Amino acid sequence: MSSELYPAEPFRIKSVEFVKMNTREERERIAKEAGYNTFLINSEDVYIDLLTDSGTNAMSDNQWAGMMLGDEAYAGSRNWYHLEETVKELFGFKHVVPTHQGRGAENLLSKIAIKPGQYVPGNMYFTTTRYHQEANGGIFVDIIRDEAHDSTIDIPFKGNIDLNKLQKVIDEQGAENIAYVCCAITVNLAGGQPVSIQNIRETSELCHKYGIKMFMDATRCVENAYFIKEREEGYANKSIKEIVLEEFSYADGCTMSGKKDCLTNIGGFLCLNDEELFLAAKEMVVVFEGMPSYGGMAGRDMEAMARGLKESVQDEYIEYRVKQVRYLGDRLLEAGVPIVEPVGGHAVFLDARRFCPHLTQDEFPAQALAAQLYIDSSVRSMERGIISAGRDKATGKNHYPKLETVRLTIPRRVYTYKHMDIVAEAVINLYKNRDEIRGLKWVYEPKQLRFFTGRFEHI
Ligand SMILES: *Cc1c(COP(=O)(O)O)cnc(C)c1O
């Protein structure tokens, strides 16, 4: 294990949380009681929790110190001014509106920028993003490059927008019928795949030529910046801070989930350059989130986020972060386990179609695989396939996404390389016994975002 390929943790551990391993019999019962949905398993019953990188970050001593400086005034908290100043400095946008988490920002943006019937092209959908777009009358159109839907194609910027697809939507629907273009960096559901600066710039030029705004889903903008530094010509000697600023220099605003790259456990914000949209967002935030100087966050949370953002753009941290994820991917690839390639920024995605060729997509191979991995090893992962994709709003039919995956998401600064070894061993063992993974069927299918609370049983 070369420390150049996989750099050691650029921190030491000052506080620990003990975890315990329960027995296989217990896990069989727990999985059944949870309806074979890993979202419904208690955290205490999990040994290594790779359900999500959302809100699972370990904060630094500096962030915890900041928590004690929370100014919990209803209006005008000093922590808000610190956060606002930090976001403006790092992202370069004119205005910031705080929200309780990313979806709060998505709700506000969808409400102020979408007229019913308008199209919202984006580089692959994200669950909550598309939900808010559709709930506000928008029609999502996928304009990601084709390769993103194929788990076997290893290219550097698999999250890029296909400019021809965008041009086609503009030609067919008319620029006035496009609310805005949403560019996610990185693309979560494609496997955490990055978007190049060149693609961000060209998308922005195309949008602005037609007077269309471009908003970024900034959730993993720092991880995206690391891939640009590593892979895009001319960026090797730039700092992550410079690259993050350049990413946003082409956009009209962004939505941000504080639970991912901000290195905090809760929070979010919306950035805008446009004055009118900013005023509209400020009027709306009062109704849905809170005052424009806290937006659903406590003062201490805003302080932790301001400090976390500054830590997140440190070059050593982000290099370690992305390479630890890659380490797990490399272990699995060496053993021949089918995963989405190349490995993205926050997670390793198992390709459930190739992992479970004996199951059809209607037997929910990714859901079944995630449940079996928990039973085998007390490692918790999540489904990103047909269950997450939901049903078409108009026809009620299931979406059948090409990618049927199980996501092993690595929390930031929480687990060691040894934990990654344990996960790799568990997945490799399960791959050897993959014939035993049984398909699932619905017991309870929720109407919205069904992966969160849906329940299943074995066929
Ligand atoms: C998590 C996430 C969101 C939503 O953010 P929340 O803070 O969970 O509401 C939006 N987009 C992407 C790509 C995400 O990963």
CA 139–ligand 1 middle distance (angstroms):
19
Q: What is the whole-number distance in angstroms between the Cα of residue 257 and the centre of ligand 1?
A: 5
List the structure tokens of 136: 């506000």
Residues ≥6 apart with Cβ < 8 Å to 285: 97, 98, 99, 108, 291, 292, 295
Q: Is the peptide bond before 186 cis (omega within 30 degrees of 0)?
A: yes
Q: What are phi and psi of 234, to 5 degrees?
A: 95, 0
Q: How far is the CA of 359 from the centre of ligand 1 (A)?
A: 30
Pick the CATH number of 61-312 from 3.40.640.10, 2.102.10.10, 3.40.50.300, 1.10.10.10: 3.40.640.10
CA distance 258 to 272: 17
The answer for residues whose C-beta is within 8 angstroms of residue 245's C-beta and 6 or more apart is 90, 91, 92
Q: State residue 310's pLDDT score.
A: 98
Could you give the 3-state DSSP secondary structure of residue 229? helix
CB atoms within 10 A of CB 152: 11
Residue 74 designated active-site: yes
CA-nearest residue, atom 4 of ligand 1: 102
User: Which residue, judged by its Cα, is nearest atom 3 of ligand 1?
Assistant: 102
Q: What is the per-residue pLDDT for 449? A: 86
Q: Which residues pair with 349 in a beta bridge?
A: 407
- The domain limits of the chain are 24-53+315-458, 61-312
Radius of gyration, CA atoms only, the chain: 21
Query: Among the options 145, 158, 259, 260, which is catalytic?
Result: 260
Straight-line distance from the first to the last Cα atom of the chain, in angstroms, rounded to the nearest whole number: 42
The CA distance from 137 to 118, in Å, is 7
* Active-site choice (24, 74, 154, 441): 74
Contact 384, 407 (CB under 8 A): yes
In terms of Cβ atoms closer than 10 Å to its own Cβ (0-12, 13-18, 19+), residue 315 is middle
Ligand 1 centroid to residue 2 C-alpha, Å: 33
427-458 burial, b at 16+ Cβ within 10 Å, e below that, comes to beebbeebeebebbeeeeeeeeebbeebbbee
Tokens 């996960």: give the residue.
423
CA of 339 to the centre of ligand 1 (A): 23
User: Who's near 52: CB < 8 A, 6+ residues apart?
Assistant: 382, 409, 411
Torsion angle of alpha carbons 163, 144, 114, 53, nearest 10°? Answer: -140
Angle (CA) 27-45-430 rounded to 5° is 45
d(CA 224, CA 261): 10
The C-alpha atoms of residue 201 and residue 331 are separated, in whole angstroms, by 35
Domain 24-53+315-458 in CATH 3.90.470.20? The answer is: no
Q: For residue 1, what pLDDT is reported?
A: 75
- State the DSSP string of 380-428: E-EEESHHHH-B-TTT-PBP--S--EEEEE--TTT--HHHHHHHHHHHH
Spatial neighbors of 373 by CB under 8 A, at least 6 apart, are 379, 381, 406, 426, 427, 430
| Joined tokens for residue 246 | 């350049």
Strands 382-384 and 181-184, how do they pair? unpaired
Active-site hit among 86, 127, 219, 255: 127
Determine the length of the chain: 459
Kindly list the protein residues whose Cβ atom lies closer than 6 A to any atom of ligand 1. 54, 101-103, 126, 128-129, 184, 188, 217, 219, 257, 259-260, 268
C-alpha to C-alpha distance for 343 and 345, rounded to whole angstroms:
7
- Active-site residue, 451 included: yes
Q: Judge whether 349 counts as a catalytic residue.
A: no
Q: What is the rounded CA–CA span in Å between residue 247 and residue 258?
A: 18
Which pLDDT value is given to residue 17?
Answer: 96
39 flagged as catalytic: no
pLDDT digits (tens), the chain, 459 positions: 788 899 999 999 999 999 999 999 999 999 999 999 999 999 999 999 999 999 999 999 999 999 999 999 999 999 999 999 999 999 999 999 999 999 999 999 999 999 999 999 999 989 899 999 999 999 999 999 999 999 899 999 999 999 999 999 999 999 999 999 999 999 998 999 999 999 999 999 999 999 999 999 999 999 999 999 999 999 999 999 999 999 999 999 999 999 999 999 999 999 999 999 999 999 999 999 999 999 999 999 999 999 999 999 999 999 999 999 999 999 999 999 999 999 999 999 999 999 999 999 999 999 999 999 999 999 999 999 999 999 988 899 999 999 999 999 999 999 999 999 999 999 999 999 999 999 999 999 998 889 999 999 999
> For residue 342, is the peptide bond before it cis, meaning its omega torsion is within 30 degrees of 0?
yes
Mutate to test the pocket of ligand 1, among 51, 56, 103 (most ligand atoms within 8 A of CB): 103
